[in-house]
Amino acid sequence: MATYQYRHYPYRTPPELAGTTPARPPVIIVGAGPVGLAAAIDLAKQGIGSVILDDNDVVSVGSRAICWAKRTLEIFDRLGVGERMVAKGVTWQVGRVYHRDRELYRFDLLPGGGHHRPAFINLQQYYVEEYLVDRVEDFPQLIDLRWKHKLAGVEQSATGVVATVETPDGEYRLDADWLIAADGAKSSVRSLLGLAFEGRTFEEKFLIVDVRIAADYPRDRRFWFQPSFDPGQSVLIHRQPDDVFRIDFQLGWDADAEAERQPESAMARVRQVVGAGVNCEYEWCSVYTFRCARLERFVHGRVLFAGDSAHVVSPFGARGGNGGIQDVDNLCWKLAQVVRGEATAGFLASYDRERIHGADENILNSSRTTTFMTPKTVVERQLRDGVLALAPDFAFARGLVNSGRLSKPCDLLGFPGFVADDAAGAGALRPGMPCEDAPVAGADGRAGWLLDHLGTDPVALVFVANRREAAEIADSVAACGIARLTVLAVTERFQGDLPLPELVDADGLVRARYGGAPGVTYLIRPDQHVLGRWRAWNPSALGVAWRVCLGSAKA
Amino acid sequence: MTHLRRDDGFDGRGDAFYEQLVAAHRGLTDAASGALNARLVLLLANHVGDAAVVAETIAAARRGLDSGGTGNEQEL
């Protein structure tokens, strides 16, 4: 590619074959894609070591996943890579949908202010992986990233996992307590365990082309149904960094994939879109079909599936890469609890439950989009075209036009492990929902963001009116009986010298979003989800809620 | 006088409605699908009842079809 130089990461002979004494890692991670790399970093932040095995020695070939949603950026912030992703990425929040040459409607994904991260950035997967690899290198004692190490076998017992690994120096066996399969849609772990991966295949072919366009094209997501400039059914254009544009063409099921993926023929289509006079250079292209499928369970003994190895969706909706990062966010703190012996292995059933829910939501939304985009019968076509024909005049029909329902964080309302809401009506955020961001200032007066103070460890967020209230709370933190609990005091105006870390809510957005009144307390899981909330500080209730979450007490 | 509703009547659940409608046609021949649509129109029109709203609905649905096309041709 003209705009990205691939670096070959060095293969190193592993200690198992070099004759030095290998250390048994708690976790093996198969796959150094966004999911595997993020998992290693998240575990390292919990103090848990891992060995990552990757059969290749470069980051993603081709731009692949490019749309990263706000929730993913917030998780990347927690992992220490968000700023770099956003700085390089193209920030966008407006989408425009056209039928032929007419704009049917536009949507603005984040009209409200007071959030650190935008609704979406576009950033090629190779940059995402490169930045994650750089971050991995910040944990040399905890993460051992092994390039050109191919998984050849997996065996597991009640106490651990043994991986057989092939390298340029030969084969070796690697023992660990757990194995995370982050090895993508064609997961070798899944095949080695003989697991069925069932779902629905959609009979449609798409051509995806990356081109560099020097002209100043808009950054909005633009989607055309039945474009006048292309014979296909739909076209999607998205801007990426380095003046690279992603163009998706819906080719139809009968298209000749081999002919369409030739750069000359792909570029002929591109020129119809951008106009003959515009200078554009070919970067990369691919023809794809897709299916929606998932494993029946993500937890198989000591083997844990995350990302595309566990579930795949169609790309319209940006639910593949984002769903995988949310898997990591949900899994790693739980695995850390189990590795440290603070929860039993049974606690991982909550990962299964919660992320199967997330995967099903993603599959449902992307299947609906695909149904709308690829009508299969005369009547489906008539219904679809009827919606498009009514859309200019009828708001309800614009709501039915479906070119992708873009990834939103999924909530876990009513799931086991979350306690009953003891502050109903205090604000929109209920137990099971991901925390909402808001501007805060630290005790040093520096402006920052609420989410930067939450996560990795459990946090209690308490609204306090004065120093006396904060002191009473600080005196009873130990009564919660929650390991590594951080208690943060949210104040309206800077108090100073509080016995708890102070977050000043000068703009009032924390109070507005969390229904904050003095005493209102939120207990927040390490993945920034509300575990429980109370109208008053109640250390024994917090302790029970945490143990209910870990599965060591009943709700 | 009541007018034909233009805003979202599905309370944000339009995608589920559309999926349900497409699923209702699954496995039917084109002729049977036409029959299904005819019955749906009759049942829903009866449910609406209001003659003025039904008349307005018919006019809105017919717009652009008089030329013999589907109403989705390239605009001139």
CB contact under 8 A, B71 and A378: no
pLDDT at res. B75: 39
Q: Check whether residue A172 and residue A298 sit in a common domain.
A: yes
- A224 and A339 belong to one structural domain: no
The C-alpha atoms of residue B44 and residue B39 are separated, in whole angstroms, by 9
CATH code at position A343: 3.50.50.60
Contacts of residue A372 in chain B, CB cutoff 8 Å? 18
The tens digit of pLDDT for each residue in B12-61 reads 899 999 999 999 999 999 999 999 999 999 999 999 999 999 999 999 99
Looking at the structure, tell me whether residues A324 and A191 fall in a common domain. yes
The answer to whether residue A366 neighbours chain B at the CB level (below 8 Å) is no
The pLDDT value recorded for residue A380 is 95
Is residue A180 assigned to a domain? yes
Indicate whether A402 belongs to any domain: no
Does some domain include residue A530? yes
Alpha-carbon span A86 to A450, nearest angstrom: 18
Q: Closest chain B residue to A392 measured between Cα atoms?
A: B6
Q: Is B33 on the interface with A (CB under 8 A)?
A: yes
Which domain-ending residue is among A352, A376, A403? A352
Question: Residue B72: pLDDT band by 50, 70, 90 thresholds?
Answer: low
Pairing outcome for strands A486-491 and A459-463: parallel
Nearest residue on chain A to B12, alpha-carbon basis: A399
CB contacts of B60 in chain A (<8 Å) are: 390, 393-394
Per-residue pLDDT of chain A (555 residues; tens, 9 = 90+): 789 999 999 999 999 999 888 889 999 999 999 999 999 999 999 999 999 999 999 999 999 999 999 999 999 999 999 999 999 999 988 899 999 989 999 988 876 789 999 999 999 999 999 999 999 999 999 999 999 999 999 999 989 999 999 999 999 999 999 999 999 999 999 999 999 998 988 888 999 999 999 877 777 899 999 999 988 889 999 999 999 999 999 999 999 999 999 999 999 999 998 887 888 999 999 999 888 999 999 999 999 999 999 999 988 889 999 999 999 999 999 999 999 999 999 999 999 999 999 999 999 999 999 999 999 899 999 999 999 999 999 999 999 999 999 888 889 999 999 998 998 888 889 999 999 999 999 877 789 999 999 998 999 999 999 999 999 999 999 999 999 999 999 999 999 889 999 999 999 999 999 998 899 999 999 999 999 999 999 999 999 999 999 998 876
CB of B34 less than 8 A from some CB of A: yes
Extents of the domains making up chain B: 14-62
> Cα distance from A393 to chain B (closest Cα, Å)?
8
Q: Identify the residue among A101, A377, A378, A405 best suited for mutation to test binding to B, counting B beta carbons within 10 A and taking the highest.
A: A377
How far does chain B reach from its first CA to its final CA, in angstroms?
35
| The predicted structure's pLDDT at residue B68 | 66
Tell whether A211 and A230 lie within a shared domain: yes
Q: Which chain B residue shows the shortest CA-CA distance from A395?
A: B7
- Is residue A57 one of the residues assigned to a domain? yes
Within a domain: residue A99?
Answer: no
Q: pLDDT value at position A211? A: 95
The partner residues of A120 in beta bridges, in order of sequence, read A69, A92
Closest to B14 (Cβ–Cβ): which among A101, A379, A396? A396
The residue among A418, A522, A424, A546 whose CA lies nearest residue A464 is A522
Using CA coordinates, name the residue in chain A closest to B64.
A389
Bridge partners, residue A161, by sequence: A156, A176
The set of residues, in sequence order, having a beta carbon less than 8 Å from that of A421 and lying 6+ positions away, is A430, A431, A532, A533
Contacts for A466 with CB less than 8 Å, ≥ 6 apart: A495
Domain that holds residue A228: 199-291
Judge if A22 and A65 occupy the same domain.
Answer: yes
Q: How far is CA A423 from the centre of its chain?
A: 29
Say yes or no: A347 and A471 in one domain: no
Task: Provide the residue type at A12 as one letter.
Answer: R
Q: Are residues A155 and A270 in the same domain?
A: no
Asked whether residue A114 is domain-assigned, the answer is no
Residues 6+ apart with CB under 8 A from A297: A352, A356
Tell me the DSSP string of chain B. Answer: ------S-TTTT-HHHHHHHHHHHHTT--HHHHHHHHHHHHHHHHHHH--HHHHHHHHHHHHTT-TTSS-S-SPP-
What CATH number is attached to the domain comprising A245? 3.30.9.10
Residue A377 placed within a domain: no
Residue B51 Cα, gap to closest chain A Cα (Å)? 20
The DSSP code sequence of A125-194 is HHHHHHHHHHHHTT-TTTEEEEET-EEEEEEE-SS-EEEEEEETTEEEEEEESEEEE---TT-HHHHHTT
Of A177, A178, A199, A196, the C-alpha closest to A187 is A196
A28 and A155 together in one domain: yes
What pLDDT does A555 receive? 67
**Contact call for A379 and B34, based on CB within 8 A:** yes
A102, A372, A405 ranked by CB distance to B75: nearest: A102
Number of structural domains found in chain A: 3
**Contact between chains at B25 and A228 (C-beta distance less than 8 A):** no
Q: Is A365 on the interface with B (CB under 8 A)?
A: yes
- Do A380 and B22 lie within an 8 Å CB cutoff? yes
Rounded Cα distance between A147 and A218, Å, is 38
Give the pLDDT score at A551.
92
A188 touching B (Cβ < 8 Å): no
Residue entry with tokens 């890579």: A81
With contacts defined as CB-CB under 8 Å, which chain B residues touch A228? 74
Residue A552 is predicted with a pLDDT of 87
- Residue A409, SS3? coil
